[in-house]
């Protein structure tokens, strides 16, 4: 059995923490341990911050979808801010770090699966999966 929870979030930085805590509660209800919950919270925060900061959101909102099952938690952060060309993304240089630009790298390091769907002129969806094991 799978449950779906959806949040419509104002595109303002102060609401990233609200979503972070809501997702933390959902992950806890699925039985994730503290370390996994912390990983999920950081990954979701990074994805939401991308929606708020790196792309201006249409109508000032983005959406967060959560699919909950006994096997996994799937979180998708979706904006309709015009997307980007994925060929312009490059892995950050960890030997010469700069401020910003690590969000996708961090998300991929913390989650079991990460898929990014983007279309110029439409928007972006970052889908993150964490298995309960």
Q: Could you state, in order of their start, the residue ranges of all structural domains in the chain?
A: 3-131
Q: Is 60 left (phi over 0), alpha (psi -120 to 50) or beta?
A: left
Taking residues 95-110, what's their average pLDDT? 74
Confidence of residue 52 (pLDDT cuts 50, 70, 90): confident
pLDDT, tens digit (0-9, with 9 covering 90-100), for 22-38: 999 999 999 999 999 99
Output the pLDDT for position 56. Answer: 55
Centre a 10 Å sphere on the Cβ of residue 23 and count the other Cβ atoms it contains.
24
Contact of 24 with 16, CB cutoff 8 Å:
no
Confidence of residue 89 (pLDDT cuts 50, 70, 90): low
Contact of 48 with 57, CB cutoff 8 Å:
no
Output the pLDDT for position 80. Answer: 81
- Cβ-count burial of 61 within 10 angstroms (0-12 exposed, 13-18 middle, 19+ buried)? middle
**For the packed helices 103-110 and 34-49, what is the interaxial angle rounded to 10 degrees?**
150
Taking residues 91-120, what's their average pLDDT? 77
Taking residues 80-100, what's their average pLDDT? 58
Q: Which CATH class is domain 3-131?
A: alpha beta
């Amino acid at each position: 059995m799978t449950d779906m929870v959806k949040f419509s979030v104002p595109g303002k930085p102060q609401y990233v923490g609200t979503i972070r805590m809501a997702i933390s509660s959902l992950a806890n209800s699925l039985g994730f341990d503290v370390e996994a919950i912390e990983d999920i919270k950081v990954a979701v925060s990074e994805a939401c911050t991308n929606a708020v900061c790196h792309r201006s959101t249409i109508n000032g909102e983005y959406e967060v979808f959560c699919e909950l099952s006994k096997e996994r938690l799937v979180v998708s952060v979706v904006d309709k801010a015009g997307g980007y060309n994925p060929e312009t993304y490059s892995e950050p240089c960890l030997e010469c770090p700069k401020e910003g630009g690590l969000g996708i790298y961090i998300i991929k390091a913390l989650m079991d699966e990460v898929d990014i769907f983007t279309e110029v002129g439409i928007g972006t969806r970052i889908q993150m999966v964490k298995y309960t094991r």
